[in-house]
């Protein structure tokens, strides 16, 4: 297989293995995979807890929900749910973008938009939880 190496003008003969060397793992895939699994595992009990709480708080006035959210444990669990949810969402969308969006510019713009949206929406949700907690 004839290819031109970067910066050289002379064609170089390389096997497929030679072309693939150096293009392997960037040593970030494992950490990314573990983060997805850890956030998924954390989201299971947090989501079940949240559904249980929503069903029990349904029908309460805002003051009652604010009083409930003012407890440190409840506020901490709500914040953990918000952080884990948006981080897990961002990680999953990053994988989809890296796999299916072609072109460096489009991929970069998509990744930046997803990460930016996750940060902005996560901060908005966290501020809402804190406002509710401190207003109670």
Would you tell me which CATH number, out of the four given (3.40.50.300, 1.10.10.10, 1.20.1300.10, 1.10.620.20), belongs to the domain 27-135? 1.20.1300.10
DSSP of 41-61, one letter per residue?
HHHHHHHHHHHHHHHHHTT--
| pLDDT single digits (tens) 16-29 | 766 666 555 555 67
Alpha helices in the chain (DSSP H): 16-20, 29-57, 62-69, 72-100, 104-135
CB 132 within 8 Å of CB 65: yes
What is the reported pTM? Answer: 0.77
Query: What CA–CA distance (Å, rounded) separates 74 from 84?
Result: 15
CB 87 within 8 Å of CB 126: no
Q: What is the mean pLDDT of residues 38-56?
A: 98
Domain spans of the chain, in order of start? 27-135
């Amino acid at each position: 297989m004839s290819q031109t190496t970067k910066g050289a003008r002379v064609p170089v003969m390389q096997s497929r293995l030679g072309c693939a060397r150096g293009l392997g793992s960037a040593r970030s895939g494992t950490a990314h995979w573990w983060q997805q699994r850890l956030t998924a595992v954390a989201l299971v009990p947090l989501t079940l807890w949240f559904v249980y709480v929503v069903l029990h708080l349904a029908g309460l006035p805002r003051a009652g929900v604010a009083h409930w959210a003012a407890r440190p444990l409840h506020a901490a669990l709500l914040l953990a749910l918000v952080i884990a949810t948006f981080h897990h969402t961002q990680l999953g969308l990053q994988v989809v973008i890296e796999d299916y969006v072609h072109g460096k510019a489009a991929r970069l713009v998509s990744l930046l938009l997803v990460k930016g949206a996750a940060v902005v929406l996560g901060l908005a949700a966290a501020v809402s939880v804190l406002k509710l907690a401190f207003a109670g």
